[in-house]
Structure 1
Amino acid sequence: MKFPKILVAFIMAASSVLTAQQKEVSLEEIWSGTFQEERLQSLQSLNNGEEYVVLNRDRESDASSIDVYSYKTGKKTRTLVNSNDLDAIKSFSGFQFSNKEDKILLSTEVESIYRRSSREIFYVYDVKSKELMKLSDDKVQEASFSPDASKVAYVFENNIYILDLKSNKRTQVTKDGEINSTINGITDWVYEEEFAFVKAFEWNPTGNKIAYLKFDETEVPEFSMDLYGKDLYPTQQVFKYPKAGEANSKVSLHMFDLDSQNSEEIDLGKKYTQEEFSDLYIPRIKWTAEPMILSVQVLNRHQNNLDLIFVDAEDNEAELILNETDKAYVDITDNLTFLEDNSFIWTSEMDGYNHIYHYNEEGELLDQVTSGDWEVTNYYGYDKKSDRIYYQSTENGSVNRDVYSVKPNGKSKKRLTENTGKNSASFSADYTYFINSFTNTETPTVYTLLRAKDGKQVREILNNKELLETVKPYGFSPKELSTININGNDLNMWMIKPSNFDENKEYPLLMFQYSGPGSQSVSNSYFGTNDYWYQLLANEGYIIVCVDGRGTGFKGAEFKKVTYQELGKFEVEDQISAAKKLGERAYIDSERIGIWGWSYGGFMSSNAILKGNDTFSMAIAVAPVTSWRFYDSVYTERYMRTPQENASGYDENSPLNHVEKLKGDYLLIHGGGDDNVHVQNTMRMVEELVQANKQFDWAIYPDRNHGIYGGNTRLHLYNMMTDFILEKL
């Protein structure tokens, strides 16, 4: 039969569209960055509020430059420094301005230590004279300009030093620093990991005082890890790691006076001589708007009693300004902001949801700035000129985020973002503009410049439309957002179905979750790397689902804190119940339901296949906690108290104590160099399974940390998990 040319062309076009839609995604594509979103390079506003700087790198020459751009036009206006013009350094990987932006600290030869800490070689660059000065021949930590940029303070081998940039005189502030014994000016391992900061010293606004923390680690037990490397003999990394219920560092606050060259330990008050409060944390120090008044946040070991203390640096006297308690725990944030009159902004869950409060300098409440059955999820700051506070919240639903402004008295609130999804803001120094990043399940991140006063768009910066063109031939399935009613709660859920989904067929179900306190895995956002893996699995005929159960965040304090003292109980109940309810759907094979997770999610997936052995037929646990007795003091005790106080809470929900219930297929994976969730967790799980004569699969990645990456490691890991799912589920 002879077809007309037009019809032939139509058939060929239709055929090519069908073929394009059936393009198969591969793990090599996923982990080589084929689907990587283009991100807006890390930028920093200049003081003038009209311009921002970006650290750019020339890939061919490996040179670095700090370039200045106009917010309004996006065009480059000038270059502040280019490493091609510097004889001493080929490139730099980070920078820090002085207050007046007349000097820049350039960071080179960075050597990572833990998650947030590093040692590096610093140089001081003078913007006007273009002179370059090496700070020290040694790799040091947390270099920081004095307010007038005449000096730089830093930490070397656990001691604080000050370099006078004019005289080149170096002053050693502390002399008792010793590895695995005493730390000055930087935090210990557990503070860095759980309170999320490293630099533990602060110049006062006039530059004549430095407040700093000292950590006495002598009584903290040591943890050791064997690192195999490629040499004939392995090495061992030994560091102080306080596990739940064990001795913490003894932390103290000190004040160094540059005029007298003396340090004095600060007495925080009689309260802290009482046994209940003697074992304390100091998770934040910050100078107030008064140059000689330091704010100190002090937390008891149970983390349910937080004090805000003001220290007068003239006489080093301490005064309690604000106290907050909670029947479970109080979260630490970086939201404390001091206004010109030394009144301050504070965020708290005291009314059941996280909101903004305004207090005077005496600690008396002036206004609750925000209120409602929704959460403030980010505090961006206060603009004196417009007398407005800028923040992000879930007012438009817990899976969404929007940016708002409001007066400190809670009036005249404005929504500054229009599109429904996840919006986040980066403001210019004078709050004239903000760069908004927006995403939802159908839209990769779009960056736009908006006016802060009304949210009106000035220009689009970056839209990731090329990524949408890249993914089009694959015919990926949408990420469907919904809720599922489990144990009396409407839980947020997403689902990815096969692209050729047929409701008359039965499909195996793979569930993913994290489930840690205050976390969120279900949000109105575009695909992440794992989502492309889920698309690969969907193409193989699987349905993938994620449910955020009780204990996760952004739905109020009660929903989040219900897991207090019983981590792994209610969260596991919700995953089992969700699996059972999903298994009732005609298109899901209730005999083929699997679950996987990483870290806290690995703890959860392990418990799920044990306690839910009649529901789950397969589980993968990557870097799991298998007993909270093995994890660090700050995180664990925040949610569980100590093992001495709450033995049953620790043990009844530990996978180690339920191994005899294993019926399905179980894959256990860990990095041998994990300084966070130690491989001890997996080794103990292996031993319990062996002694219970339970068959399972397991893999150790030598020397890899909690992220299990480097070289082909991630690709190998996901190949292993994919093969396991295809074979077992």
Structure 2
Amino acid sequence: MRAFLLLLTILTLPVFSQQKKITLEDIWVENVFETASLEAFQSMKNGDFYTILNHNSYGTYMDKYDYKTLEKVETLVLGKDLQGITYFDDYTFNQDESKLIIGVNLEQIYRRSKKGKYYVYDLTDKSLELISELDIQEPTFSPDGTKIAFVHKNNIYIKDLLSKKTLQISTDGETNKIINGITDWVYEEEFGFVRAFEWNPSSNKLAFIRFDETEVPEFSMDVYGNGLYPKTQTFKYPKAGENNSKVSLYLYDLSSDEKYRVDMNSLEQYYIPRIQWKKEDDHLVVTTLNRHQNNLNLVSFDAGLKKADLLLNEKDAAYVNINDNLTFLYDNSFIWSSERDGFKHLYHYDAKGKLKNQITKGNWEVTKYYGFDIKTKKVFYQSTEEGSINRSVYSIGISGNKKKKLSKYVGENSAAFSNSFNYFVNTYSSATNPTVYTLVDARSGNELKEIKNNLNLAEKLTAYDVPSKEFSTIKTPNGEFNMWMIKPKDFDPNKKYPLLMFQYSGPGSQRVANTWNNIWKHDYWHMMLSQKGYVIVCIDGRGTGFKGRDFKKVTYKELGKYEIEDQIASAKELGKRSYIDKNRIGIWGWSYGGFMSSLAITKGADVFKMAIAVAPVTSWRYYDSVYTERYMQTPQENASGYDNNSPVNFADQLKGDYLLIHGTGDDNVHVQNSMQMINALVEANKQFDYFTYPDRAHGIRNGKNTRLHLFKKMTTFIDRSLGEPSNNEQNIID
């Protein structure tokens, strides 16, 4: 790989000129370190082609490329030709890829959901047709391309593209009461999908989920805006132990105009996190879960006989994770992933749900399933076979033989396959190599061509005083954990440095990964701090992912207990090193990481001098039902698990400097969490620092200079708390 070799050369060249320091403005204003990517890359279904969406001053344009040659075949769409629609970002093809649905001026609702105006663009005659005058959600072609189903104001509609008539198939949709075909807030956030309807292969049936959230408690947020009076946003948000939406599955038959509720009898459970049609026209597979999420059913429903049968049952002593790996093959056998042997692997079942064989095996995990090639009978996947911090791409026969590694370099490799599985675009990076995109032969693993690299970024970085990220493990009384460390470029082992620990620590997560600087740009900020004389460390303790089921699920019913023990033990071990000042150790984190840093400065007050918590959970009683109960069961069942690990209940142990930050528009981790923490700290007469970002959501990013302001505030706080003792006589920030 030419780019890979050049990157190594550039990043290891000796530098003779004065190097520049990274600044907050470089990171958050000028975007100096932006990594080039393949913009809106999408594999096509018909042939070895892919599309790329680009934008210029004339508008949006979509080009079609040949996988084999990487040459542009044609320009499919020009924004300036779309009768007044110059720019668009959202598009989906129909089955034969003769038409597109294009979204324009879309309004974000929550993390994944949006609404707006959508059009059908015919690639053959270049005609453009507005689907509806209304703001709609999730417009989806039927497989035969003659119809589009969509949702407006919680009701499902079907538009016939031939007759131009629109049929409304549900009428009871109502805000904060009934939702048809679109998930409620907690399903969208925690089960990761918005569209809750699916066409059958023959385009004459539509299955959809109905959510009755009438009894779900409401949560309200003030939206301050620029007006004279704030507005109130109210939505249904089930907290741990509270009522969830009552979900039911419906089927609409276009041929008979019949709509009925699917009766799954004793197989019906609390959640319906997935629905999917088999290759057979009238067979729907429904994934159901009990409320504890440790008992999963795959239910096969015969729409002709209106009969439900159990296809597969998956149980776990802790919880079963939902995924999108379920794949039905030509004979209706299917591929499924499971942690049943202690690591996540792929399994092959026959059409009746009987296990045929385990496809992948070993003390490593399958991290992505890419698909099955019917011609070669090969399964393609990504895994941790080269170490838990790395990702590699493989092929293997469906019987579990003839495994072949297809990626060439150690680091993070991910693949985007052509429809034929003849080729894939490999995205590679490591901690020392910015992202490179290459075309790979999927059968041999040979690299055919380079598509895009980041040589410009690599060259740019040589002008900066950029330290390296060192990977290792740290041994503690609790176990041995993956760790990375960033030291100052002029590191002197005879000096003592303040230590700042960064972590997330949530179930199944990973922050110690051999990949290029993360997309949130935290790594560049950490490098900037190292220039100021800090050592930065990140440690993935127990409960994090990709090291097997037992390592991850040890935290079941005790979120926070083992994770904070590991961060405290690791800080103590690091404090023993000659170059670390054990009296100047700080920690910071966001969301779950904010929960952890809040525990660190309370339960670990004798170890940590400083903590920053951004948008933290402070008690799992305040967080949503699906996420929290998966790991904790309900507060009614597990009160001690909730309360013994809540920083709110340990506020009186605070000793060091604590900065609490939250956005008031956070619909995910509500600002209520910080307010309860503040109350507990005030009652304990503890001094701390608090800052609010009005109307900002969980990511605290919208608005001019928001991220710059946030990280400047955090930098100043760290300097005041962990700086040289002579400059830090006042330990408490008033």
> Which residue matches 1:712?
705
Q: Which amino acid aligns with 1:368?
A: Q
> Which residue matches 2:22?
25
Cα deviations by residue, 1:215-239 (Å, 9 ceiling, x for unpaired) = 0000000000001000001001000
> Which residue matches 1:318?
308
> Which residue matches 2:716?
723
Cα deviations by residue, 1:308-357 (Å, 9 ceiling, x for unpaired) = 00011113211111001000000000000000000000000001000000
Runs of 5+ unmatched residues, structure 1: 1-15
1:592 matched to 2:589? The reply is no
> Which residue matches 1:44?
42
* Corresponding residue to 2:345 among 352, 355, 377: 355
- State the identity as a percent: 58
Task: Give, in whole Å, the separation in 1 of the partners of 2:696 and 2:576.
Answer: 40
Cα deviations by residue, 1:235-285 (Å, 9 ceiling, x for unpaired) = 01000000000000000011000011121101112244xxxx5xx000000
Cα deviations by residue, 1:140-180 (Å, 9 ceiling, x for unpaired) = 00000111111110000000000011111110010000000
Matches within 5 A, 1:89-488: 89-272=85-268, 277=269, 280-488=270-478
- Offset at residue 688 of structure 1 (A): 0.8
- Does structure 1 retain, via aligned residues, the 8 Å contact 2:648–2:680? yes
Matches within 5 A, 1:42-81: 42-58=40-56, 60-61=57-58, 63-81=59-77
Which shifted more, 438-447 or 43-52? 43-52
Q: Normalized against structure 1, the TM-score is what?
A: 0.96
Cα deviations by residue, 1:124-154 (Å, 9 ceiling, x for unpaired) = 1111121111000111000001111111100
Cα deviations by residue, 1:653-707 (Å, 9 ceiling, x for unpaired) = 0000000000000000000000000000001111110111100001000000000
* Corresponding residue to 1:502 among 487, 492, 505: 492
SS at match of 2:37: coil
1:662 matched to 2:654? The reply is yes
Task: Give, in whole Å, the separation in 2 of the partners of 1:601 and 1:531.
Answer: 15
Cα deviations by residue, 1:557-583 (Å, 9 ceiling, x for unpaired) = 000000000000000000000000000
* Corresponding residue to 1:691 among 683, 698, 707: 683
* Corresponding residue to 1:607 among 596, 599, 602: 599
Task: Give, in whole Å, the separation in 1 of the partners of 2:46 and 2:251.
Answer: 33
- Does structure 2 retain, via aligned residues, the 8 Å contact 1:49–1:431? no
SS at match of 1:699: strand
- Does structure 1 retain, via aligned residues, the 8 Å contact 2:95–2:143? yes
Task: Give, in whole Å, the separation in 1 of the partners of 2:572 and 2:289.
Answer: 41
Q: Which amino acid aligns with 2:540?
A: D
- Does structure 2 retain, via aligned residues, the 8 Å contact 1:659–1:692? yes
- Does structure 2 retain, via aligned residues, the 8 Å contact 1:377–1:392? yes
- Offset at residue 18 of structure 1 (A): 4.8
SS at match of 2:555: coil
Task: Give, in whole Å, the separation in 2 of the partners of 1:85 and 1:526.
Answer: 38
SS at match of 1:483: strand
SS at match of 1:474: coil
Task: Give, in whole Å, the separation in 2 of the partners of 1:450 and 1:547.
Answer: 34
> Which residue matches 2:561?
569
> Which residue matches 1:648?
640
Which shifted more, 358-367 or 31-40? 31-40
- Does structure 1 retain, via aligned residues, the 8 Å contact 2:602–2:650? yes
- Does structure 1 retain, via aligned residues, the 8 Å contact 2:38–2:52? no
Task: Give, in whole Å, the separation in 2 of the partners of 1:594 and 1:564.
Answer: 27
SS at match of 2:429: strand
Which shifted more, 47-56 or 661-670? 47-56
> Which residue matches 1:491?
481
- Offset at residue 209 of structure 1 (A): 0.3
Q: Which amino acid aligns with 1:519?
A: S
Task: Give, in whole Å, the separation in 2 of the partners of 1:551 and 1:44.
Answer: 34
1:552 matched to 2:544? The reply is yes
Task: Give, in whole Å, the separation in 1 of the partners of 2:83 and 2:532.
Answer: 56
Task: Give, in whole Å, the separation in 2 of the partners of 1:608 and 1:230.
Answer: 38
- Offset at residue 71 of structure 1 (A): 1.6
Q: Which amino acid aligns with 1:343?
A: S
- Offset at residue 70 of structure 1 (A): 1.7
Q: Normalized against structure 2, the TM-score is what?
A: 0.95
Matches within 5 A, 1:513-552: 513-528=503-518, 529-552=521-544
- Offset at residue 19 of structure 1 (A): 4.4
- Does structure 1 retain, via aligned residues, the 8 Å contact 2:613–2:661? yes
Task: Give, in whole Å, the separation in 1 of the partners of 2:652 and 2:51.
Answer: 58
1:675 matched to 2:657? The reply is no
1:624 matched to 2:622? The reply is no
- Does structure 2 retain, via aligned residues, the 8 Å contact 1:494–1:547? yes
Task: Give, in whole Å, the separation in 2 of the partners of 1:639 and 1:103.
Answer: 44
Task: Give, in whole Å, the separation in 2 of the partners of 1:176 and 1:47.
Answer: 36
Task: Give, in whole Å, the separation in 1 of the partners of 2:362 and 2:647.
Answer: 38
Task: Give, in whole Å, the separation in 2 of the partners of 1:229 and 1:698.
Answer: 21
Cα deviations by residue, 1:172-228 (Å, 9 ceiling, x for unpaired) = 010000000000001000000000000000000000100000000000000000010
RMSD across aligned positions (CA): 1.0
- Offset at residue 50 of structure 1 (A): 2.2
Runs of 4+, deviation exceeding 4 Å: 16-19
Q: Which amino acid aligns with 1:52?
A: Y
Q: Which amino acid aligns with 1:250?
A: K
Q: Which amino acid aligns with 1:77?
A: V
Task: Give, in whole Å, the separation in 2 of the partners of 1:488 and 1:681.
Answer: 29
Q: Which amino acid aligns with 1:37?
A: T
- Does structure 2 retain, via aligned residues, the 8 Å contact 1:49–1:432? no
Q: Which amino acid aligns with 1:56?
A: N
Cα deviations by residue, 1:73-108 (Å, 9 ceiling, x for unpaired) = 222221112121122422222111000111111110
- Offset at residue 488 of structure 1 (A): 4.2
